[in-house]
């Protein structure tokens, strides 16, 4: 880990005592091998006890449990600034906490880490504030005012480009401009039932188009970044400052109707093929927890260097992140037979991403566009270059031409009703605690009648 202080912005990515792999929690399940939520993680989510109808509140995942911050705030004598920062969390308002900025986030994380560590005097007071994750109902972690989806997975962009333009898969702007479009925030959720959309479809040879249920329903495995602090309209965020605007990451499934997309996308890009549903994992893993997994941002030899507004020494040294990403599929038949889900792909953001999060923030605001606390940026589909690393069915089935053979004899080119898609992400490296981003699952429901 690079902890040099020679960069203007080091606060995000420098590790501290909260990242120490030797740290242990008095919550025994936090030490479970390959668990997502050790004491070094401490992600935030919005929850309530399932079926209780009680107000939503922010909790911190620890092992198999959630620390209920609504209960924890009055249970312990927190340092005054931390207690003030935790007040909106107790009220279920993560956005207000996100707006407070990195020094407050770090102080709160340090206090939570100390309180949950072995030997803490807060143990007896906080133990009753734990709720089993199995009993927690989760919702979106924050209000997402705006959602932007980028396209930074260069292997995905190349593979999809080849389906349409075999000789010229990447358009000339790709290596210069972080490509993106404005998505739809109202249809964001944390998974569950996903209704198959209907729309205009026009298969080759169809004349005219028809309206009906999507026949080529797909997923896209992405990471989502949640913005912490806002910028004023007309005031771009420099790449040096961009790191401090980022609050944390989630796993993101950009559900995609390929047949609707094919017919509608020119000339203005995706519209109804994407806006029916987007799912994110309910736990936001903070940039502080991800600090041990920072890696240099490098470009292949011969590729253009980013323009100066997308370049900084810090970004080159530690702008990228080592995150492993997986997609799992369980069909209705597999579920009925009690068969386990099958892994469709495994990829890594380090291989897949052509731009860093700081570059996306700097680019997004470079025209003066203002970002707000809770805004969501999707990375784009994070496919790797190899077999078994394709993070959408469009790629796995080569545009629907090569069906996937599933255990049990089923085949898929795109998703069928009853299919359950689960995406997971985690970080692991020698000498660090494993940090999981949790998972997001969605089950495809039949299109609405009529």
Hey, how many other C-beta atoms are within 10 angstroms of the C-beta on 234? 10
Q: What's the closest the beta carbon of residue 164 comes to Ca ion, in angstroms? A: 16
Write down the least CB distance from residue 174 to Ca ion, Å. Answer: 15
Phi and psi dihedrals of 376, rounded to 5?
-115, 130
DSSP single-letter state for residue 153: B
Q: What is the enclosing helix (H) or strand (E) of 159? A: helix 154-164
Q: Per CB under 5 A, which of residues 135..154 are in contact with Ca ion? A: 149
Of 286-305, binders to Ca ion (CB under 5 A) are: none
Q: Output the residue with the shortest Cβ distance to Ca ion.
A: 254
Bridging pattern class, strands 57-62 and 65-68: antiparallel
Which range, of 45-53, 61-69, 215-223, 258-266, touches Ca ion by CB under 5 A? 215-223
DSSP conformational letter for 329: E
**Closest to Ca ion by CB, 96 or 163:** 163
Q: What angle do CA 85, 90, 92 make, to 5 degrees?
A: 105
From the list 156, 182, 363, 364, the catalytic residue is 156
State which residue, 95 or 392, has the beta carbon closest to Ca ion. 392
DSSP reduced 3-state for 312: coil
Residues 380-409 that bind Ca ion (CB under 5 A): none
What angle, 0 to 180 degrees and rounded to 10, lies between the N-to-C axes of helices 102-116 and 80-90? 90
Of 220 and 419, CB closest to Ca ion: 220
State in angstroms the smallest separation of the CB of 168 from Ca ion. Answer: 21
Residue 149 or 439 having the CB closest to Ca ion: 149
Query: Binding of Ca ion at residue 220 (CB under 5 A)?
Result: yes
CB nearer to Ca ion: pick between 93 and 254: 254
Q: Does 254 bind Ca ion (CB under 5 A)?
A: yes
Q: State which residue, 19 or 253, has the beta carbon closest to Ca ion.
A: 253
The helix or strand, by DSSP H or E, that contains position 137, with its residue range, turns out to be strand 136-139
Least distance (Å) from Ca ion to the CB of residue 120? 42
Residues with Cβ within 8 Å of residue 407, at least 6 apart in sequence:
334, 339, 342
State whether the Cα torsion 20-25-30-33 is positive or negative: positive
Q: Which is nearer to Ca ion, 36 or 149 (CB)?
A: 149
CB-facing half-sphere around the CA of 347: CA atoms within 13 A:
30
User: Taking contact as CB under 5 A, which single stretch among the options 7-15, 250-258, 307-315, 324-332 is the one that binds Ca ion?
Assistant: 250-258
> Shortest Cβ distance from residue 107 to Ca ion (Å)?
35
Segment 149 to 188, residues that bind Ca ion, using CB under 5 A: 149
The set of residues, in sequence order, having a beta carbon less than 8 Å from that of 62 and lying 6+ positions away, is 25, 27, 29, 30, 37, 39, 42, 116, 130
Contact range with Ca ion by CB under 5 A, out of 117-125, 191-199, 251-259, 289-297? 251-259
# residues contacting Ca ion (CB under 5 A)? 3
Check if the beta carbon of residue 422 is closer than 8 Å to that of residue 328. yes
Torsion sign across C-alpha atoms 143, 178, 320, 371: negative
Q: Could you tell me the smallest distance in angstroms from the CB atom of residue 222 to Ca ion?
A: 6
Q: What DSSP state is assigned to residue 22?
A: T
* Selected range binding Ca ion among 49-57, 133-141, 254-262, 383-391, rule: CB under 5 A: 254-262
Question: Cβ of residue 376: shortest distance to Ca ion, in angstroms?
Answer: 12
Instruction: Name the one residue in this structure whose structure tokens are 């078994």.
Output: 388
Examine the residue annotation and report whether 156 is marked as an active-site residue of this protein.
Answer: yes
Chain residues in the site for Ca ion (CB under 5 A): 149, 220, 254
Which residues have a catalytic role annotated?
156
């Amino acid at each position: 880990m690079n902890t040099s202080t020679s960069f203007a912005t080091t606060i995000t990515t420098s590790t501290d005592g909260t990242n120490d792999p030797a740290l242990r929690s008095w919550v025994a399940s936090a030490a479970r091998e390959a668990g997502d939520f050790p004491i070094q993680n401490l992600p935030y989510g919005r929850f309530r006890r399932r079926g209780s109808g009680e107000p939503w509140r922010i909790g911190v995942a620890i092992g198999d449990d959630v620390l209920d911050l609504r209960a924890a705030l009055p249970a312990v004598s927190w340092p005054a600034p931390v207690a003030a920062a935790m007040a909106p969390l107790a009220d279920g308002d993560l956005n207000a906490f996100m707006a407070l900025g990195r020094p407050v986030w770090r102080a709160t994380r340090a206090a939570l880490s100390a309180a949950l560590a072995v030997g803490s005097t807060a143990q007896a007071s906080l133990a009753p504030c734990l709720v089993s994750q199995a009993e927690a109902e989760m919702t979106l972690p924050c209000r997402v005012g705006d959602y932007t989806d980028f396209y930074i997975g260069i292997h995905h962009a190349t593979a999809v480009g080849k389906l349409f333009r075999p000789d010229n898969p990447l358009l000339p702007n790709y290596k210069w401009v972080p490509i993106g479009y404005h998505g739809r925030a109202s249809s964001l959720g944390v998974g569950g039932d996903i209704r198959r959309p209907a729309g205009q479809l026009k298969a080759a040879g169809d004349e005219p188009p028809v309206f009906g249920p999507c026949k080529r329903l797909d997923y896209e495995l992405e990471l989502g970044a949640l913005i912490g602090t806002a910028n004023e309209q007309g005031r771009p965020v420099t790449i040096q400052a961009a790191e401090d605007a980022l609050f944390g990451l989630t796993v993101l499934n950009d559900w995609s109707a390929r047949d609707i997309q094919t017919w509608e996308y020119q000339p203005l890009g995706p519209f109804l093929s994407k806006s029916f549903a987007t799912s994110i994992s309910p736990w936001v893993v903070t940039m502080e927890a991800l600090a041990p997994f920072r890696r240099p941002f490098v470009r292949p030899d011969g590729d253009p260097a980013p323009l100066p507004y997308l370049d900084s020494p810090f970004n080159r040294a530690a702008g990228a992140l080592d995150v492993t990403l997986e997609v799992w599929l369980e069909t209705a038949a597999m579920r009925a037979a009690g068969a386990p889900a099958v892994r469709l792909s495994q990829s890594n953001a380090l291989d897949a991403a052509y731009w860093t999060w700081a570059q996306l923030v700097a680019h997004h605001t470079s025209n003066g566009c203002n970002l707000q606390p809770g805004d969501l940026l999707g990375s784009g589909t994070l496919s790797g270059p190899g077999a078994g690393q394709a993070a959408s069915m469009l790629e796995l089935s080569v545009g629907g031409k090569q069906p996937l053979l599933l255990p049990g004899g089923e085949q898929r080119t795109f998703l069928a009703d009853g299919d359950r898609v689960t995406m997971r992400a985690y970080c692991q490296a020698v000498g660090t605690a494993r940090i999981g981003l949790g998972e997001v699952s969605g089950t495809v429901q039949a299109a609405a009648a009529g």
